[in-house]
Structure 1
Amino acid sequence: MDRAYAEPLDVPALAQIAHVSPGYFNRRFRAVFGETPHRYLQRRRVERAMWLLREDPRSITEICFAVGFSSLGTFSRTFHDIVGVSPTDYRERNRGGATGVPTCFTKSWTRPVSSG
């Protein structure tokens, strides 16, 4: 899921690969990662979008589709839910990245925190 974040999530296919039922896959995934497979994938997509909003000149709509969302409204709502600000506000506050700061610090500061 981390490498194919832009692809549609197919829990039954993932469960089949793991040789378990979709329900069991969902329960075990949540127990291990603390969130559902769908929410985990959303978070990975938003993390990638955060980087693109800081570093890529493409429009927010183009970034939305590039990270795997099929609706700008869903992307904006999910982004705000996870990050706490809209994609537009995030881009305005963070354009160009944090120069002169080691990457390990930047990653820890910009990684979204789970709110539930």
Structure 2
Amino acid sequence: MCRPSWADARAEARRLEDLALMRRVRDRIDREYALPLNVEALARGVHMSAGHLGRCFRQAYGESPYSYLMTRRIERAAALLRRGDLSVTEVCFTVGCSSLGTFSTRFAELFGMPPSAYRGAAADDARGLPQCVAKQVTRPVRRRTAPAGPPAG
């Protein structure tokens, strides 16, 4: 009769507990992306060290918490730029970025063009589409992929 050891059961319970905490962190980022968040503040919120949070988050979602936060900010910025009623600088600060240069660089990495060029191109591309469809069509494609998981065996 083969039974898992208590150590294996405890390790699995801890892994599931960490995964639930990572969902809370991800949900907080999605909710509070425009606030001044950093990894240390996120880690304090789930009673972890910043290093442990970073490792667990990367294992669960394939990217660091900071990278996930910046991606959310840039996606929201793209939606604001498509509306066209705010300048690029106003959009940058509205989504929680504190540096226009970092914002523009990250935006260009995700969308392949600077925010000012995107603003003009997106207005033409999304014209006539419902907002929910425009958001889906213009979502950035990540070049990175999440790890497949632990090897079998």
Larger RCO (alpha carbons 8 Å, 6+ apart): 1
Distance 2:69 2:42 in 1: 13
Distance 1:48 1:75 in 2: 12
- Structure 2 residue aligned with 1:53: 81
Identity among equivalent positions (%) equals 46
Matched, 1:12 2:53: no
- Structure 1 residue aligned with 2:52: 24
Structure 2: runs of 5 or more not aligned: 1-28, 145-153
SS in 1 for 2:141: coil
Cα displacement (A) at 1:106: 2.8
Distance 1:107 1:100 in 2: 9
SS in 2 for 1:2: helix
Distance 1:71 1:53 in 2: 17
- Structure 1 residue aligned with 2:140: 112
Aligned length: 115
Match of 2:128 among 96, 99, 104: 99
Cα displacement (A) at 1:102: 7.6
Larger-gyration structure (1/2): 2
- Structure 2 residue aligned with 1:38: 66
TM-score by length of 1: 0.88
The one-letter code matched in structure 2 to 1:80 is A
Q: Which runs of 4 or more aligned residues in structure 1 lie more than 6 Å from their structure 2 counterparts after TM superposition? A: none
RMSD: 1.7
Greater mean alpha carbon deviation, residues 39-48 or residues 5-14: 5-14
Structure 1: runs of 5 or more not aligned: none
SS in 1 for 2:32: coil
Cα displacement (A) at 1:83: 1.1
CA gap 1:84/1:18 in 2 versus in 1, 3 angstroms: same
CA gap 1:31/1:88 in 2 versus in 1, 3 angstroms: same
Cα displacement (A) at 1:11: 1.5
Distance 1:114 1:3 in 2: 21
